[in-house]
Structure 1
Amino acid sequence: MEKQKLQRLESLDVLRGFDLFCLVGLEVFIHRMKAPINQSWYDKFLWNFSHVEWTGFSPWDLVMPLFLFMAGVSIPFALSRYRSEPNKLPIYRRIVKRFLLLWIFGMMCQGNLLGLDPSRIYFYSNTLQSIAVGYLVSSMLFLHTKAKTQIGVAAGLLVIYWAVMQFVTVGNYGGGNYMPDGNLAEWIDRIVLGRFRDGAKVVDGEVVFSPWYRYTWILSSLNFAVTVLTGLFAGHILKNKEADPKKKWQLLLGIGIAMVVAGWLWYFQMPVIKKIWTSSMVLVSSGYCFLLMAIFYYWIDYKGHRKYLTWLKVYGMNSIVAYMLAMCINFSSVGQSLFQGTEQYIGAWYPVLIAASNAVIIYLILWMMYKRNIFLKV
């Protein structure tokens, strides 16, 4: 922990806070309201807060890509001063340290380490670990290459992922098959991770994979890196002190629109599938991230509208803490202790009240840290 000293891009803090508020404070609350409302229109509304089953993209599918994207945006602001230093060993240590901490935190969030159950240890299965991979690749490229090279690497990784998925065939997997049981990314995860894949268990000496778990990580790491790199490109634009602020948000907006269009056009050949992080999905999601970054930068840093946004900065400036609190600690017992007598009166609304109390407790912890200028620096 340390006190915050550096000037920050406020729109980035607020956008990160918005992302974490949706994940930590809003999702469970919205879903818990389904039972007491019990209306068909609300069931349709919940699509906005639910992941698509396989192909396509919902607003809720943007939460994880936005997290990765913003990790990339922060790189030019955090690492620019190290690019010209001949001795980069100190910053290498810092990057590796962040990689390892995010990886361990990711395992904790999945319940693997804190469960103290060896059979539940899954090696690679969390958003924080995808950020770790993307951050490692992007930060090293930022320190040692020019922006044109970074763009070339990003484009190359998108094409490599597509080519492997499209042309490599192993048994019944691959060869342009993008179905849950036939895509090559699924086969690679099963072979590489085996028993340590999330949901896998050993039955009679054989590894059995859960039919409900379809997320892939090994081959998808190529595109995790690209998602963070797209954030890095936005960071290049925002960090440029010589650029006209008006042109910054216009450029972000234009790039976002172009990427969204390109991604949905690619959909006709390679489906947009978040669970396996297809290249078309990267373009679509990163395009939406560019659009959000443009809107937030325009309103906050360009127009100077900062009133009533501090509550989002409370989430955004301690985003890892917020995520860890939500994923690792269940505060339901506190709400149940305080409001146990109300269930008989409010019925189906009681779970909504408990979900709201969880969100409030997490926010109060983050708010106290914010007021004391305490921020977790990974």
Structure 2
Amino acid sequence: MDLLRGLTVAGMILVNNPGTWSNMYWPLKHAKWNGCTPTDLVFPFFLFVVGAAIPFSIRNGLQVFPKILKRSLILIGLGLFLNLFGEWDLSELRIPGVLQRIGLTYFFCALVYTEKNLKFRIFLFSFLLIGYWILLGSIPPPGAELPSMVEGKDWGAWLDRTVFGEKHLWKFGKVWDPEGLLTSISAFGSVLAGIFIGEFLKKELELGRSYLKISLHLLFVGFAFLVLGGLWDLWFPINKSLWTSSYTLWTAGWAVLFLSLFSLLENQNTFLLRSFQVLFQPFGKNALLVFFGSGIYARSLNLISVHFADGKKTSLKNYIYVEYYKSWIDSPELSSFAYTITVISIWFCILFFLDRKKIYWKI
């Protein structure tokens, strides 16, 4: 599981640290609204892995409620601090965020999990996804005459404005937030899907099944999720910002297929597998550290100003990018990507060293 988590976290760093947001290769961009790019797989993959780890660490969520609550509050607190860092203005603090969503979805899904309530969780999974579809597709939001999935005019946008206020939402969305409250309903589905697969893996490993057999089973399940998500897309479009039910199934399908691939490589014990492990497991073992740390690092470079003789100034991040990348690489996309590779390489070296020293940030 560390391998998929590591690949996901490395993907997050890759996506979140371009030389400039104006010039990026298309796989590193989010879909403008409906649709799904490789970048749109990253966050649901992480939630999927969060869910897949739960059966390996919890037998009954209610019995470890204090532990679950503590981890969730720490994640939410770190997310709020990350949003506050550099702005230092509580009046316009963005309340939703990536770590906040991880904390919320982990709390809910870990709390309802027990080894003996599989049928209930299958019902809950189906109820959440179908109920969310009915709400967005059939019921008009307050003040509207028709159901809406238009940017900023859907149920989720209305709820976030009502609960948080526009000043506390994503500044680029202005009147809506991609990590808002209502979209967490379907995001719970991403974690629950991970729990189902985590249970399956735990059982198969305890029974001593071969990685080849596990891989074939995962392959079938992954394609099933993809087919269901793809068909649902015809009526309920795949959309990350709304975290639609079809998006939940579609991204879960790809996550399971990646696990199937890693299980197949594990069966063969190939050089490719060992290469993946060297490159990505350090990210997976210190996922929280690198996500939080890379966010602080990027914000710090944007906060530090570089002044020029003519009185102009720019951020240290932009200065580094322009002087050491854009100045000698003709392609804007390539220069931006080269900066990204530098950032992820720096973090790899840090995480590789920490892994060798067995230093991990756990909560």
1:220 lines up with 2:183 in the alignment: yes
1:312 lines up with 2:312 in the alignment: no
Residue 38 of structure 1 is matched in structure 2 by none
Question: Once the two structures are superposed, what CA deviation does each residue of 1:244-291 show, in whole Å capped at 9, x if it has no partner?
Answer: 333322222111111111111111211111101111111111111111
Residue 328 of structure 2 is matched in structure 1 by 346
Match of 1:18 among 7, 32, 35: 7
Inter-partner Cα distance in structure 2 for 1:156 and 1:260: 19
CA deviation after TM superposition for structure 1 residue 351, in Å: 5.9
What runs of 5+ residues in structure 1 fail to find an aligned partner? Answer: 1-11, 36-42, 202-208
**One-letter amino acid of the structure 2 residue matched with residue 219 of structure 1:** L
Q: Given that residues 218 and 260 in structure 2 are in contact (C-alpha distance below 8 angstroms), is that contact kept between their aligned partners in structure 1? A: yes
Seen in structure 2, the aligned counterparts of structure 1 residues 263 and 69 have a Cα distance that, compared at 3 Å, is: same
1:210 lines up with 2:174 in the alignment: yes
Matches within 5 A, 1:147-296: 147-173=118-144, 175-195=146-166, 197-199=168-170, 210=174, 214-215=177-178, 217-240=180-203, 241-242=206-207, 244-245=209-210, 246-296=212-262
Inter-partner Cα distance in structure 2 for 1:33 and 1:214: 19
Inter-partner Cα distance in structure 1 for 2:319 and 2:33: 39
Residue 296 of structure 2 is matched in structure 1 by 328
1:98 lines up with 2:71 in the alignment: yes
Q: Given that residues 76 and 103 in structure 2 are in contact (C-alpha distance below 8 angstroms), is that contact kept between their aligned partners in structure 1? A: yes
CA deviation after TM superposition for structure 1 residue 51, in Å: 0.4
**One-letter amino acid of the structure 2 residue matched with residue 120 of structure 1:** E
Bigger mean CA offset, 330-339 vs 62-71 = 330-339
Identity of aligned residues (%): 23
Inter-partner Cα distance in structure 2 for 1:272 and 1:67: 18
Match of 1:62 among 41, 65, 71: 41
CA deviation after TM superposition for structure 1 residue 312, in Å: 0.9
**One-letter amino acid of the structure 1 residue matched with residue 118 of structure 2:** A
Question: Once the two structures are superposed, what CA deviation does each residue of 1:202-256 show, in whole Å capped at 9, x if it has no partner?
Answer: xxxxxxx726x55252111111111100000110111011263333222221111
Inter-partner Cα distance in structure 2 for 1:53 and 1:313: 31
**One-letter amino acid of the structure 1 residue matched with residue 160 of structure 2:** D
Q: Secondary structure at the match of 1:177?
A: coil
**One-letter amino acid of the structure 1 residue matched with residue 328 of structure 2:** I
Seen in structure 2, the aligned counterparts of structure 1 residues 182 and 235 have a Cα distance that, compared at 3 Å, is: same
Bigger mean CA offset, 165-174 vs 141-150 = 165-174
Q: Given that residues 123 and 196 in structure 1 are in contact (C-alpha distance below 8 angstroms), is that contact kept between their aligned partners in structure 2? A: no
Seen in structure 2, the aligned counterparts of structure 1 residues 49 and 169 have a Cα distance that, compared at 3 Å, is: same
Q: Given that residues 256 and 288 in structure 1 are in contact (C-alpha distance below 8 angstroms), is that contact kept between their aligned partners in structure 2? A: yes
CA deviation after TM superposition for structure 1 residue 119, in Å: 2.7
Seen in structure 2, the aligned counterparts of structure 1 residues 53 and 352 have a Cα distance that, compared at 3 Å, is: closer
Inter-partner Cα distance in structure 2 for 1:162 and 1:56: 17
TM-score by length of 2: 0.83
Q: Given that residues 69 and 231 in structure 1 are in contact (C-alpha distance below 8 angstroms), is that contact kept between their aligned partners in structure 2? A: yes
- TM-align CA RMSD: 3.1
Residue 57 of structure 2 is matched in structure 1 by 78
Q: Given that residues 33 and 352 in structure 1 are in contact (C-alpha distance below 8 angstroms), is that contact kept between their aligned partners in structure 2? A: no
Inter-partner Cα distance in structure 1 for 2:352 and 2:320: 21
Residue 349 of structure 2 is matched in structure 1 by 364
Match of 1:120 among 92, 95, 115: 92
CA deviation after TM superposition for structure 1 residue 199, in Å: 3.8
Seen in structure 2, the aligned counterparts of structure 1 residues 178 and 321 have a Cα distance that, compared at 3 Å, is: same
Seen in structure 2, the aligned counterparts of structure 1 residues 345 and 132 have a Cα distance that, compared at 3 Å, is: closer
CA deviation after TM superposition for structure 1 residue 32, in Å: 5.6
CA deviation after TM superposition for structure 1 residue 145, in Å: 4.6
Inter-partner Cα distance in structure 2 for 1:107 and 1:374: 25
Q: Given that residues 325 and 362 in structure 1 are in contact (C-alpha distance below 8 angstroms), is that contact kept between their aligned partners in structure 2? A: no
Q: Given that residues 17 and 315 in structure 1 are in contact (C-alpha distance below 8 angstroms), is that contact kept between their aligned partners in structure 2? A: yes
Q: Secondary structure at the match of 1:143?
A: coil
Inter-partner Cα distance in structure 2 for 1:18 and 1:326: 16
Seen in structure 2, the aligned counterparts of structure 1 residues 27 and 197 have a Cα distance that, compared at 3 Å, is: closer
Inter-partner Cα distance in structure 1 for 2:53 and 2:348: 23
Bigger mean CA offset, 246-255 vs 366-375 = 246-255
Q: Given that residues 160 and 177 in structure 2 are in contact (C-alpha distance below 8 angstroms), is that contact kept between their aligned partners in structure 1? A: no
Seen in structure 2, the aligned counterparts of structure 1 residues 144 and 55 have a Cα distance that, compared at 3 Å, is: same
What runs of 5+ residues in structure 2 fail to find an aligned partner? Answer: 305-315
Q: Given that residues 107 and 123 in structure 1 are in contact (C-alpha distance below 8 angstroms), is that contact kept between their aligned partners in structure 2? A: yes
Q: Given that residues 131 and 224 in structure 1 are in contact (C-alpha distance below 8 angstroms), is that contact kept between their aligned partners in structure 2? A: no
Inter-partner Cα distance in structure 2 for 1:261 and 1:350: 38
Question: Once the two structures are superposed, what CA deviation does each residue of 1:79-108 show, in whole Å capped at 9, x if it has no partner?
Answer: 13x57xxx92xx211100110011112123
